[in-house]
Amino acid sequence: MKNLFVITSLLVSFQFLVADTKKDITIQNARIKAVPSSSPNSGGFMILKNSSNKDIQLIKAESSISETVELHTMTMTEGMMKMRPVDKIEIKAKSTTELKPGGFHVMFIGLKSPLKKDEKKLVTLTFSNGQKESLSMPVTEIQMEMK
């Protein structure tokens, strides 16, 4: 009886140990913009939610759908749209960062083949907390969402 109790306690404790590697970042509404067949690039958008007490950054995005994948942002200055690459996208502790049209996005540079609407594409995201997520992102029409 005592042995059974010890074994059970050990197993239960082990569960708590393993459960510490829970997902700090959850991802919602991930999608890739449908673009014409002659367009060399496209953008990926999503909502990143950080449920931990520490700031976490999205540091890398990878996919085989394009030659390169980078993280980019858009800013508007004096009526001019400017796109720039960024090393990381921050998701502050206990908050949400949205990658959306007119702001942060995953940039797929040099699409290897035309994107077809409703097709799903595999994209892997790496975060600064060691979390790695592989997503199946649908290709969709994206309407004006800013303003």
Partner 1 sequence: MTRLFIFITSLFFSLTLTHCVPAEDQIELAKVPQGGNFTLDTEAGKLSLSDLKGKVVFIYFGFMSCPDVCPTTLNVFSSAFKTLSVKEQSKVSFLFIDVDPERDTLDRLTIYTKYFHPQIIAMTGSILQLNEVAMLYGASFQKVNLESSMGYTMDHTSSVFVIDQNGKWVSTLPHGSKKNDIQKTIKELIKN
* C-beta of 8 vs 67, nearer to partner 1: 67
**Is residue 19 part of the contact set for partner 1 (CB under 8 A)?**
no
Pick from 68, 58, 33, 34: nearest CA to 129: 58
**Is residue 21 part of the contact set for partner 1 (CB under 8 A)?**
no
Helix segments in 23-135, DSSP class H: none
* C-beta of 3 vs 37, nearer to partner 1: 37
Beta bridge partners of 140: 33
* C-beta of 91 vs 99, nearer to partner 1: 99
d(CA 106, CA 112): 16
**Is residue 2 part of the contact set for partner 1 (CB under 8 A)?**
no
- Binding residues with partner 1: total (CB under 8 A): 38
Pick from 41, 42, 23, 17: nearest CA to 32: 42
Q: Least Å distance between CB 90 and partner 1?
A: 19
**Is residue 118 part of the contact set for partner 1 (CB under 8 A)?**
no
Interface contacts to partner 1, rule CB under 8 A: 33, 35-43, 67-68, 70, 72, 74, 76, 78-85, 101-102, 105, 107-110, 141-147
